Amino acid sequence: MIAIPKEMAVHLKNVDTIATLPNVATEILDTLRNTSASMRHIAAVIEKDPSITTKILKVSNSPVWGFTGRVDNLQRAVVLLGLKQVTNIVISISLYSTFARLKPNSRFDREQFWFHSFGTAQLSRKLAKKLGLNFMGEEFVAGLIHDVGKIILDQFMPETFAQILEYSHTSNKPLIEAEKVFLNCTHADIGAWLLHHWHFPASIVEAVHFHHSPQKASENQDLAALVHLAETLCEVWGIGFDGDVQKFNIHASPAWRILKQANPQLYKLDLERFLFELSNEMEKAKILKQMIED
């Protein structure tokens, strides 16, 4: 279990009263955890939710995934995308729908939050492909939900969270440092706690937990490092509010060192060109966000 202070545990005790995963996502997570899931079984689970089925077909036919030809049924989508990719898309859609309907807070820019989240997810996917890393789609999910702890703070402790945001802004400190001052823990700790509570795969839980400090991850440093790098590049592009950009030096980043040690392809990455390509990736993130919202 993820360690969090007792005071925070009290606030999170009733988390399921405001945020629960849709049945289809819960059933898929159970299936993947307990059995050797087949495409037919996963498709049957997904088809129980027509809304999610429709959105999967939208994603399959979008320029984000780049398939040619029409994907007109779920079975074909599963074959083309692969079992893991489809289940990850379902989980992503489910998480977004779960948190998007929560009560708004005028002091927390939810629109900016989700754009940053989808941008980080898309850049995680792009980086993984560029470097020849195969996380089976988990990099997209981890990128999308890396900041889910902020939503929990926004919902359970809105006044304290507003103070944290204000303190971070006025003191020019990164948000994660401001959180430690007020909470003695961070949104990364809280997000990892929630995902563990919901029985997410350990690799995604750890990537979310250590997305600000991937060198501390014990078994999934490369996934945590990828998400960290994608998030920071997203902020460099101008979509984010963690306050880390002014200190960012990619070649001195622990994430860069971790990925460079494990993946020789990183030496070949034309960083300037990749940064130039971010605009196109952000447009894809906007398209994906819109499809899931509709």
pLDDT tens over the chain, length 294 residues: 677 888 888 877 777 776 777 788 888 877 766 656 677 787 888 888 888 888 888 877 877 766 666 778 888 888 777 777 787 788 888 888 887 777 777 778 888 888 899 899 989 988 888 888 888 888 988 999 999 999 889 888 888 999 998 898 899 888 999 999 999 999 999 999 989 888 888 999 999 999 999 999 988 899 999 999 999 888 877 776 555 554 556 777 888 888 888 777 777 777 777 777 777 888 888 888 888 877
State the Cα–Cα distance between residues 186 and 183, nearest whole angstrom: 7
* pTM of the full structure: 0.87
- Name 175's Cβ contacts closer than 8 Å, sequence gap at least 6: 164, 165, 168, 187, 241, 242, 243
For residue 263, how many other CB atoms are within 10 A of its CB?
A: 18
Ramachandran category for residue 127: left, alpha or beta (phi over 0 → left; psi -120 to 50 → alpha): alpha
Domains of the chain (ranges; CATH) run 6-19+104-293 (1.10.3210.10), 21-101 (no CATH)
Residue type at 147 in one-letter notation: D
- Sorted by sequence, the CB contacts under 8 Å of residue 99 that are 6+ apart come out as 19, 148, 151
